[in-house]
Structure formats: structure tokens, C-alpha cells
Amino acid sequence: MKSVDDFRLSFGKQQVVPIMIGGMGVDISTAELALEAARLGGVGHISDAMLPTVTDRRYKTKFVSEKQKQYKLNIEIADKSIVQFDLEQVAESTRLHVSKTMEAKRGEGMIFVNCMEKLTMNLPRETLRVRLNGALDAGIDGITLSAGLHLGSFELMKDNRRFRDAKLGIIVSSVRALQLFMRKTAKLDRLPDFIVVEGPLAGGHLGFGLDWAEYDLMTITKEVLAHLQSEHLNIPVIAAGGIFTGSDAVSFMEAGCGGVQVATRFTVAKECGIPEKVRQEYFKATEEQMEVNTTSPTGYPMRMISTSPSIGAGIRPNCEAYGYLLDATGNCQYIEAYNAEVARNPDVKKISVMEKTCLCTHMRNYDCWTCGHYTYRLKDTTHKRADGTYQSLSAEHIFKDYQFSIDDKIALPEKE
Ligand SMILES: Cc1cc2nc3c(=O)[nH]c(=O)nc-3n(C[C@H](O)[C@H](O)[C@H](O)COP(=O)(O)O)c2cc1C
């Protein structure tokens, strides 16, 4: 009976334990979590979602208050098109977070940054260019391109001196999306170093419609593997979404994957950014509370616990402070939904907006409890205390459980 430890994931000459902890914005996959993955010989991700906000919290910069002050007079105005990011500040926050993380790195593993194209930041191409190049300049080992098709992202990095040595990969949910990406980047003569195939049970935004339940990760993964083989391309495929035990992971390795990307089990790690109180909500969640809805203004379905405070909240859009989801025209679907609701209820003080959510504010405050489908199984991975709360785990414990467990077993942590 094999365990994950019988396999290694190769990036050129470098070999790592084939476990990647997926990127989880906003600062859910913290530097501390990613550093543990690297120390244990695997791959950890930090996220570049809302980094100016994250660096304010972590490193006491003042990016958010400065931006909010600059656009103060726009707060009552529906048109947000003038609310632009200072590109130098975006670059600085990226460099700061990445370099501080990389300086602290120990061990044989690697640290990548998860970069979501859908964070359009009211100037999609330029802000993305700054984020990608900022991360490369600050010494990140690799970049995982996610949430969006990223058809132009390689182009944005092509003049960077690290374009060919950093590990660059993409998350796709179908062969078609992969083909589009490959076609678009062919002229750069630079293949991705890895391909994450993310299935419909993952957390965060999904690369599927509301018919997500009709798809299955193993089937899509095999299609991607067959496609690569037919093209004579030797690129490691990393399966993601619903891989809950070491044995689940082994089944993907045996199907030909180079590794797996996992996240949900780490949402209850002490090193993860989710505050303890919210972590208990993840432990407590039931299968019936696993919800895929369309409240994200990105237009992608997103999975979350149905009791998330973000659902139905009606706060004023906070684009002057944040504004990470403003599209190229300065619009966000939440602004439209909010304004329509205000117009329908002119005399109501506290409105509720059901269609969309102010994702920037709620993700920043850990009030949008996005999660993978198997979140309801987290309670089986630890001990319940006498007071009804659950014992948090260490990232090391979860990582090693994935690495060494067999027979679908989940090792419980030592009792406190
Ligand atoms: C709380 C949470 C937040 C996530 N946020 C992101 C994100 O910001 N960007 C992204 O590409 N994927 C995100 N994901 C997806 C994970 O990186 C990962 O691919 C997926 O959840 C793996 O499946 P699993 O959670 O069932 O192990 C998130 C997942 C979770 C659970």
C-alpha cells in the first residue's frame, strides 16, 4: 500500500514532497502556513489578494488609509472609475510581503504566490503586471495563475529576468481552458512548469457553472493527462479539489499526477489566517451548509458555508479603501446590486443585498466563509473538547498526515 511519500514532484532538477498547500486569499494561506509547507519539503502558497490591505495589517504600512483619504470625496458617489490604485504602492506591498516571506523560508520546499486575474483593481493589465513582476523581483519561487483565463499573463512577465527560472503554473478546470492558454502563450516559447487541475469540490471560486456537480476531478485530470501525452508535453499535473486523505492523493498520483494541491484541511491549522472563532464555524459546519452560490461579484460561482455573515449583508461599497474587484470601467457587480436595493428601499436604514456581496470587505474581515466541499468532514480530523469546541491542528500534523497516511486513515492530533 503506497503513501504520498513514495512519490516526488519534480520541477526540473528540484524534487519536492508532492503536496502543495493551495493559495487562499485574503491572507488565509498566510506566510506562516506556506513556510511550514516549505520547511516540510512541500510547496506552500501565499496569496497576493489585497496585498496593500494585508501588509497594512502585517507590517504596519498605511496603504488603505492613504487611498481612502485620497478618494474620500468619492465615497457617496456611485461612479468609482476614478478610484485607482497607486501602482508603486501595489508594487511595494507585493515586494514587502514576498520578500519577508522568502527571507524566513527554511527547508527544501518551495513557496509560490497565488495570483488571481479576477482581481481587476480598476486597471486590470497594469495592476496585474505590477503584481506578477513585483513577486518575481522579490524572489518568489513560483507563481500560480488562478481565477481567470490568464491568457495575457505570461506576456506581462516576459521581460522579467526571472521569467524563465521561476516556476510558473496555471490553474485550469478543463482541457479547453488549458488549450486556450497554451495557444495564447505559444509564441513566447515558454511552457508552464506545472498545471493545477482544479475540480468542482474546491474552495474559493469555481471554474464551473452551477452545474458543477456534474463534473468530477478524476475524469478531468485524466483528460488533461491524455491531452498532454498526445501533445508530447511533459508537464507535471497537480490535482486539486476534494482530496481529503493521503489515500485520495495516492489515487491521483497513481493516475499519473505529479502532485496534489490541498487547502480545506489546512483551514483549521493554527498557522492559517482564519481567526479561531471562525475556525470553529468551519469545524461545526454540516454537509447541508455547503453552498455554491453566485454572490461573488467576479461572476464565478463560489463555495461557502451557508451561514457566512457576508450572505445578505448590505454594507456600503468600500471601493475607496479597497476596490480590488472594480473592472476596467470602474464597476463592480456589488455596487449595482447595492444601488438597486437602496433604490427599492429608500427609507430603510439597514438594507440586505442578497444577489451579490462586497467581497473585498467581507474577505478582508473573514466574514465570507469560503470553503471546500468537504469542510463538513473537518470535525472528524480532530478532538472535540468538553465545551463543544474543536481542537485546532498544526500545519505539520496535517501535512504529515497527507504524506504518510494509508488506508484512507486520518491521524488525530495529540490531545491537548
Ligand atoms: C478558504 C479557501 C480559500 C481559497 N482561496 C483561493 C484563492 O484565493 N485563490 C485560488 O486560486 N484558490 C483558492 N482556493 C482554492 C485552493 O487553493 C485549492 O485549490 C482547493 O481548495 C483545493 O481543494 P480542497 O480545499 O478540497 O483541498 C481556496 C480554498 C479555500 C478552502
Domains, the chain, in order of start with CATH, read 4-270+392-404 (3.20.20.70)
Residues of the chain short of pLDDT 50, as ranges, are none
Positive or negative, the CA dihedral 218, 242, 253, 409 is negative
Ligand 1 pocket residue status of 263, Cβ below 6 Å: yes
Ligand 1 pocket residue status of 242, Cβ below 6 Å: yes
DSSP structural state of residue 242: S
pTM of the model: 0.98
Looking at ligand 1, which atom is closest to the CA of residue 369?
A: 1
Q: Can you give the pLDDT at residue 314?
A: 95
Ligand 1 centre to CA of 334 (Å) is 22
Nearest-angstrom CA–CA distance, 136 and 162: 6
Looking at ligand 1, which atom is closest to the CA of residue 147?
A: 11
Taking alpha carbons only, the member of 60, 28, 59 closest to residue 44 is: 28
Nearest CA to ligand 1 atom 20: 202
Ligand 1 pocket residue status of 262, Cβ below 6 Å: yes
DSSP structural state of residue 376: G
Omega cis (within 30) before 26: yes
Nearest-angstrom CA–CA distance, 80 and 335: 9
Q: Which three cell numbers stand for residue 157?
A: 512577465
DSSP structural state of residue 271: T
Task: State the amino acid at position 169 in one-letter form.
Answer: G
Nearest CA to ligand 1 atom 27: 262
Taking alpha carbons only, the member of 133, 101, 115 closest to residue 37 is: 101
Q: Are 181 and 149 in contact (CB under 8 A)?
A: yes
Looking at ligand 1, which atom is closest to the CA of residue 262?
A: 27
Mutation to probe ligand 1, out of 264, 268, 278, 300 (largest number of atoms < 8 A from CB): 264
Question: How many C-beta neighbours within 10 Å does residue 416 have?
Answer: 7
Ligand 1 centre to CA of 226 (Å) is 25
For residue 296, the number of C-alpha atoms closer than 13 Å in the C-beta half-sphere is: 24
Q: Can you give the pLDDT at residue 67?
A: 97
Ligand 1 centre to CA of 45 (Å) is 10
Ligand 1 pocket residue status of 203, Cβ below 6 Å: yes
Q: Are 154 and 188 in contact (CB under 8 A)?
A: yes
- Predicted confidence (pLDDT) per residue in 231-275, tens digit: 999 999 999 999 999 999 999 999 999 999 999 999 999 999 999
Ligand 1 pocket residue status of 298, Cβ below 6 Å: no
CB within 8 A of 69, min separation 6: which ones? none
Task: State the amino acid at position 374 in one-letter form.
Answer: Y
Taking alpha carbons only, the member of 119, 172, 108, 173 closest to residue 141 is: 108
Rg (CA), the chain: 21
Positive or negative, the CA dihedral 379, 27, 126, 83 is positive
In terms of DSSP bridges, do strands 290-293 and 259-262 run parallel, antiparallel, or are they unpaired? unpaired
Looking at ligand 1, which atom is closest to the CA of residue 241?
A: 23
CB within 8 A of 13, min separation 6: which ones? none
Q: Which three cell numbers stand for residue 386?
A: 468538553
Q: Can you give the pLDDT at residue 97?
A: 98
Nearest CA to ligand 1 atom 3: 24
Ligand 1 centre to CA of 389 (Å) is 24
Tell me phi and psi for residue 110, to 5 degrees.
Answer: -135, 160
Q: What percent of the chain has pLDDT over 90?
A: 98
Q: Are 215 and 241 in contact (CB under 8 A)?
A: no
Ligand 1 pocket residue status of 198, Cβ below 6 Å: yes
Q: Are 263 and 372 in contact (CB under 8 A)?
A: yes
Q: Can you give the pLDDT at residue 45?
A: 98
Ligand 1 centre to CA of 371 (Å) is 7
Taking alpha carbons only, the member of 158, 196, 150, 155 closest to residue 23 is: 196
> What separation, in Å, do the N-terminal and C-terminal C-alpha atoms of the chain show?
31
Ligand 1 centre to CA of 400 (Å) is 19
Mutation to probe ligand 1, out of 4, 20, 21, 24 (largest number of atoms < 8 A from CB): 24
Ligand 1 pocket residue status of 243, Cβ below 6 Å: yes
Ligand 1 centre to CA of 346 (Å) is 38
Nearest-angstrom CA–CA distance, 171 and 159: 23
Q: Are 141 and 167 in contact (CB under 8 A)?
A: yes
Q: Can you give the pLDDT at residue 257?
A: 98
- Predicted confidence (pLDDT) per residue in 95-151, tens digit: 999 999 999 999 999 999 999 999 999 999 999 999 999 999 999 999 999 988 899
